[in-house]
Amino acid sequence: MTNPDERSPMDWDQRFRDETTPWERQGLHPAFLHWRDRGAFENIKRVIVPGCGRSHELLAFAALGKESIGADLSATALAWQKAQLDKAGLDAELIEADILLWQPETPLDGVYEQTFLCAIPPRLREEYEQVVHAWLKPGGELFALFMQKEEMGGPPYGCAIPAMRELFPDERWEWPDGELVPYPHPSLNGKPELAAILVRR
């Protein structure tokens, strides 16, 4: 059970218990499917989905044979993940914690970011960048879906690309060339998420 506090003012567990979860997609994210189908996950052995909630990508990574870690503050969401994994006969490590305070024993190859960065209070963003950088081995990849939102406030808090370029600076992250592909969210008023694979230097 989650206690709302300064680090996490939202009672996320309550949101899952109340079924007020408008951020949820009813299947795999189209960017995940695109990345998977073009082999973008081939070099990924160990991957974490921070703030996995009840998203489907954790199970999908496990089905691809990846050592998969799902982390969330919400016991309700993690119980849902466990039930899906059990039903599919698959395994993943499930961590119920403030994941920004966690460190893996061995570095990871991948981080899959979907509506987590936009969910945390913006004052924790630098901490997020530091911790994701520390989780990944050099050459490890952050599969990011940056939520675009012009209105102030949140969650979700907008992750405009100029702010993301500042948060994930070139000295520490290699950005892809060219325009990022937008994926409109099916239920958050069609807000686009911009897909980018950032390589940890």
Ligand X SMILES: C[S@@+](CC[C@H](N)C(=O)[O-])C[C@H]1O[C@@H](n2cnc3c(N)ncnc32)[C@H](O)[C@@H]1O
Binding footprint of ligand X on the chain (CB under 6 A): 8, 12, 23-24, 51-55, 71-74, 77, 98-100, 114-116, 119-120
Read off φ and ψ for residue 135, nearest 5 degrees.
-65, -35
Least separation in angstroms between residue 170's CB and ligand X is: 27
Q: Say what the alpha-carbon torsion angle 153, 154, 159, 164 is, to the nearest 10 degrees.
A: 80
| DSSP symbols for 89-138 | T---EEEES-GGG---SS-EEEEEEESSTTTS-GGGHHHHHHHHHHHEEE
Least separation in angstroms between residue 17's CB and ligand X is: 11
Q: Which two tokens stand for residue 39?
A: 């082999």
> Whose Cβ is closer to ligand X: residue 93's or residue 98's?
98
**Start-to-end C-alpha separation, the chain:** 37
> Whose Cβ is closer to ligand X: residue 20's or residue 106's?
20
Q: Which two tokens stand for residue 189?
A: 């008023």
> Whose Cβ is closer to ligand X: residue 8's or residue 201's?
8
Least separation in angstroms between residue 157's CB and ligand X is: 10
> Whose Cβ is closer to ligand X: residue 46's or residue 54's?
54
Least separation in angstroms between residue 100's CB and ligand X is: 5
